[in-house]
Amino acid sequence: MTDIFKLSLDTDSYKGTVSINTGLFINGKFVKPVEGGTLDVINPATGKVITPISAGTSKDVDLAVEAATKAYKTSWGLKVPGSTRGQMITKLANLIEQNIDEFAALECINVGKPYATEKIEIANSIALFRYFGGWADKIQGKTIETTEKKMAYTRHEPFGVVAGIIPWNSPFYMLSFKLGPALATGNTVVLKPSEITPLTALKFAELLDDAGFPPGVVNIVNGYGNTVGDAISYHPLIRKVAFTGSTLTGRKILKAAAESNLKVVSLELGGKSPNIIFEDADIEQAVKWAGSGIFNNMGQTCVACSRIFVQEGIYDKFLKGLTDYAVNMQNKAGDPFSSTTLHGPQISDNQFKRVMGYIDSGKADGATMLTGGERIGSEGFYIKPTIFTECKPDMKIIREEIFGPVASVIKFKTEEEVIEMANDTSYGLACGVFTRDNSRSIRVAHALEAGTAWVNCYRSLETAVPFGGYKQSGIGRELGEYALELYTQVKAVHVNIGQVL
């Protein structure tokens, strides 16, 4: 038997009890890991253990792949019409919606984002499942004209067994990024949640049977990256891996894919995104969008606009506005379940130390720390929103992804100058442009080397619009119709209707 964990909460935002099964989810059942390992899940707001959960190894990955392979061949894949898959995915979305408060509570205590933010994020995940549920019966190929004696057409077929490896910063949203299109296109899935934030994935597993999914279609194996993640990356029967996380880990997955079975890999990796504020921008709106773009989720977002370029004519005014924004966030740091909290903790002690190390680096390299840079309180992993000025291009805080609430504000003179500075990075995930000049907004958005460009807004994703990176920020596009391409392979069929040799 596996263990059931019950979490009782009496907070501003949520009052009630949430239960989850702490086992691995393989072939439609919660099971103990073969080798019996566990890991502790930590509340980042307190630094205390929430609950231990099962930790798998390569042996559990083998069992999950076996179950997924059997399900694909016997009860899923091309044997189930797209319309039926779509109905199941839509029902799954409805079940998540019925339990949205429980999902938000689990993510709040596990991730540390304010409860209200988590509830919005879960709602976005529900919308994503519904969107891909609608696509499930629309996976179509083409008839291609050749000659009157031959017909040719294409089919977009699933890979079979695919895997998803998801990060800790937006765990349930990232789960929906992977599972929505994978299931819509007929694949079976082995999913590895982050070992830091597995709780909502385990809650999600409880809903699969009620939604009608056959056993083995979705399998969830908790565990560490160097065990479960490696086993997935090297597994010879997994045909495709979708990963969101660090560029370093993305390189390791690509290497493993090359050394095993040349599985297809899609990657959504790190960023060092520029946000450019021109003199003619609406400064009040630019401050709000930029503040949200860097300090939301305590800076722990891949698209965080950690490099903010401000034209010299409005530099001082913008900087004062952003400083006021940061101080307001700092003053509203606290319990993520409190209705007044805007700023939560970093995800872990390791991440706290990593971010503080970058802050120390910025000071040592000669940047001016305008505000923040210190721990908040003595419990949990809270860091004050931090702003640096007087930054040079070769500083670590300019070159490397910090993944924390640390902004570098840089003055510029001309459009040509700022485009060159903005593109001076190995990353290319996202960028922002703030200006009232429509021609400039389009011109600069086109010139920036990034997979997503926001104009007069920031960090505003849409389910139907593709998302992914240039350069070392990734391979492939998630969201929208483009995501279907990540989970299908094209077969060309040639039919002789009159050719004679």
CA-to-CA distance for 402 and 458, rounded, in angstroms?
Answer: 18
| Token code pair at residue 152 | 């040719």
CA-to-CA distance for 341 and 350, rounded, in angstroms?
Answer: 23
Dihedral sign, Cα of residue 366, residue 372, residue 377, residue 380: negative
The upper half-sphere exposure of residue 226, i.e. CA atoms within 13 Å in the direction of its Cβ, equals: 0
Contact present, 370 and 388 (Cβ < 8 Å): yes
Contact present, 136 and 184 (Cβ < 8 Å): yes
b/e sequence 158-185, b meaning 16+ C-beta within 10 Å? bbbbbbbbbbbbbbbbbbbbbbbbbbbb
Catalytic residue among 268, 401, 449, 478: 268
Dihedral sign, Cα of residue 48, residue 51, residue 52, residue 54: negative
Contact present, 308 and 322 (Cβ < 8 Å): yes
DSSP calls for 133-150: HHHTT-----EEEEETTE
- Is 284 catalytic? The answer is no
DSSP calls for 314-359: GHHHHHHHHHHHHHHHHHTBS-TTSTT--B---SSHHHHHHHHHHH
Smallest CA-to-CA distance from 433 within 294, 278, 311 is with 278
* Angle of helix 438-447 versus helix 415-422 axis, rounded to 10: 30
List, by residue number, the catalytic residues.
268
